Amino acid sequence: MTIKITVLKKLNPKEVFGKEKKNPEGKIVPTCSAFEEGQEFLVEKLNQPEKFCGWAWRDIYKDLSVLDFGGDFSWSEPNEAITCCTDGMRPVIFKLERLEE
pLDDT in tens, 63-82: 999 999 999 999 999 999 99
What is the pTM (predicted TM-score) of this model? 0.94
Structural domain boundaries, residue 64:
2-99
* 22 CB-side CA count, 13 A: 4
Spatial distance between the Cα atoms of 79 and 33, rounded to a whole number of angstroms: 28
Number of domains in the chain: 1
**pLDDT per residue over 30-63, tens digit each?**
999 999 999 999 999 999 999 999 999 999 999 9
Position 100 scores a pLDDT of: 80
Question: For residue 101, is pLDDT > 80?
Answer: no
